[in-house]
Amino acid sequence: MVDTPLADAARTRPRRRPLLGIVRARPLHEEVVDRLRDMIIEGEIESGERLHEIDLSARLKVSRTPLREALKLLANEGLVDLLPGRGARVSTLSPEGFRKLFEVVSGLERLAAELAVARMTDRDLERLRRMHGKMAAHFAAGRRHDYFVLNHEIHVAIVAAAKNETLMAAHAALMVKARRGRYTALASDERWKEAMAEHEALMEAFDRRDSKSAGDILFQHDRRTGETTKNMLEKSFPER
């Protein structure tokens, strides 16, 4: 075979790299939203506290523009109240409001647990077992924050296992406020122990594929969380 100039050029031409999609960093205000949301839910910024833009900008090391965008989004979630001409503050926690919120959450999660038993795959169940095991380890070690994060993921995973998009959307819409209530309830050591025992019973019901027991356990679990949150808030803010 005789080499030609074109053949030589083909051999020396650099190989083309496969085209990859351009990965864009998340908008800064979304990262600020996530950080502020966690600070509010976990009580790092207290209920009713004024949110001073200069202080928060310095604390989060961001300019005031993404901070203002973040506050608008948090206001839409019900975590922040925007005060015309006066900035913003963390929305106050209503004891009765949380009780009513968990009345709805308990109904949705009961349905989710019942559907999940019927529809979850073996892989779904094994994933729940692994998550539960890690959460139990956090409980045994007294790692409240790590427990809380994984606990939320477990509740979301149960709803996802129900394989009902309408249920998932309704549940997601309530979870920001519900997470705030759950974190408040976990401040009670007694309630934390009860909650862990309830999750143990729930996993046993899933293992038995007992839809009624799973639904009843999760329903009562959520109702007790709502009542605990309500009672704790009433003690902390008796004037409300």
Q: Are residues 214 and 173 in the same domain?
A: yes
Question: What total number of domains does the chain contain?
Answer: 2
- For the residues 51-75, what does the mean pLDDT come to? 89
The answer on 99 and 86 residing in a single domain is no
Instruction: Give the span between the Cα atoms of 108 and 185, in whole angstroms.
Output: 19
Q: At residue 113, does pLDDT exceed 50? A: yes
Domain carrying residue 84: 28-90
Q: Is residue 199 part of a domain?
A: yes
Q: What is the pLDDT of residue 11?
A: 53
Does the pLDDT value for residue 218 go beyond 60? yes
Query: Which tokens is 132 given?
Result: 């539960």
Instruction: Tokens 């506290």: give the residue.
Output: 49
What is the torsional sign of CA 133, 139, 144, 148?
A: positive
* pLDDT per residue as tens digits for the range 202-215: 999 999 999 999 99
Q: Look at residue 65 and tell me whether its pLDDT is greater than 60.
A: yes
Assess whether 111 and 35 both reside in one domain: no
Same domain, 53 and 102: no
Q: How many residues does the chain have?
A: 240
Q: Are residues 101 and 70 located together in one domain of the fold?
A: no
pLDDT of residue 5: 52
More confident residue, 94 or 218: 218
* Confidence band, pLDDT 50/70/90 cuts, at residue 38: confident
61: left (phi over 0), alpha (psi -120 to 50) or beta: left
- Say how many CA atoms lie within 13 Å of 123 toward its Cβ: 1
Report if residue 117 sits inside a domain. yes
Domain-embedded: residue 226: yes
C-alpha distances (whole Å) from 107 to each of 77, 103, 221 are 21, 7, 11
**pLDDT at position 146:** 94
| Together in a domain, 140 and 229 | yes
Segment of 23-27, 91-95, 199-203, 229-233 carrying the highest mean pLDDT: 199-203
pLDDT for 4: 55
- Which tokens go with 29? 């205000």
Q: Are residues 169 and 216 in the same domain?
A: yes
In a domain, 23, yes or no: no
Range with the poorest average pLDDT among 102-116, 149-163, 184-198, 209-223: 184-198
How far is 144 from 140, CA to CA, in rounded Å? 10
